[in-house]
Structure 1
Amino acid sequence: MTAATATATATRVINWFEIPAIDFERAVRFYEAVLDADLPREVIGGVPMALFAHDDDATGGCIVHNPGQMRPAENNAGVLVYLNAEPSVQAALNRVAKAGGKQVGSLVELPNNYGYIGFFLDSEGNRVGLHSTTLR
């Protein structure tokens, strides 16, 4: 299989993501507050996880507490994921500070009607992006 064939047959680039947390419950409460959604907690393979809601064919992800293997990246050098902030990236950003995080930079309008993005540091120090197709 060539790279072109693999790309043409892929349904999505990212299948799963994990956001590391040192203080698991604090991180889960943070994301529940920012996204205004419940994150069910599970222990998978002995590792505590809080799962972001997603359809079976959509990209899934979680907050994970596995400090021996994964830790938040320092100096914003870790993997950057963009979470769905529909219907409003601004509304989600407005909830960041109250939840224990910090907005980083200004809201950005993307070209070609791709929507809007904003960034924050979560309660664990991870830099995370938010995306929505509408501003408000």
Structure 2
Amino acid sequence: MNQNIATWFELPATDLGRAQDFYRSVLDTSFKLEDMSDMQLAIFEAEDGAVSGMLVKNEHYQPSATGAVVYFNGGEDLSQPLEKVEAAGGKVLMSKTPIHDGECGYFALVLDSEGNRVGLYSPA
């Protein structure tokens, strides 16, 4: 049985370049660009077997601050990516918050540059 319940995610983007810049800045990540039918895609680079996803620009995909929340790896200390959110065009909705007094790490919620609510997680 696969240990990953989630296998893929898609985040809507109205401006694919702006969305890529946001995630490059905050998460220090890169993308592979593709087109599929009438969709523009920016696929998060990931190691083989890792859960990953993509940014999608298409009329049927609309950013949301109220839908499901995808949590991204915030590295060793969540404070570092959180410091970059506003400069990258996003907004911190919930600052670094301990989970069970920090025993299970920390999380935060942000709005990305497109208006999607996403989470960040780190062990410290």
TM-score under structure 2 normalisation? 0.90
Distance in 2 between the 1:36 and 1:55 partners? 15
> Over residues 55-111 of structure 1, what are the superposed CA-to-partner deviations in whole Å (9 max), with x where a residue is unaligned?
2222111111112x21012xx221100011112211001000010001112211112
Which residue of the partner structure matches residue 115 of structure 1? 105
Indicate the RMSD between aligned Cα atoms, in angstroms: 1.5
**Structure 1 vs Structure 2: percent identity of aligned residues?**
37
Secondary structure of the residue aligned to 1:51 is: strand
1:32 aligns with 2:21: no
Which residue of the partner structure matches residue 77 of structure 2? 88
Counterparts of 1:13-52 in structure 2, within 5 Å, are: 13-52=5-44
Runs (4+) off by over 6 Å? none
1:57 aligns with 2:49: yes
Aligned partner of 1:37: which letter? T
For structure 2, the 5+ residue unaligned runs are none
Distance in 2 between the 1:27 and 1:54 partners? 17
For structure 1, the 5+ residue unaligned runs are 1-8
Question: Which is worse superposed, 106-115 or 54-63?
Answer: 106-115
Distance in 1 between the 2:43 and 2:103 partners? 30
Whether the 8 Å CA contact 2:12–2:56 is kept in 1: the answer is yes
Number of matched residues? 123
Larger % of helix: which? 1
Larger % of strand: which? 2
Whether the 8 Å CA contact 2:38–2:58 is kept in 1: the answer is no
Distance in 2 between the 1:117 and 1:103 partners? 12
Distance in 2 between the 1:114 and 1:42 partners? 37
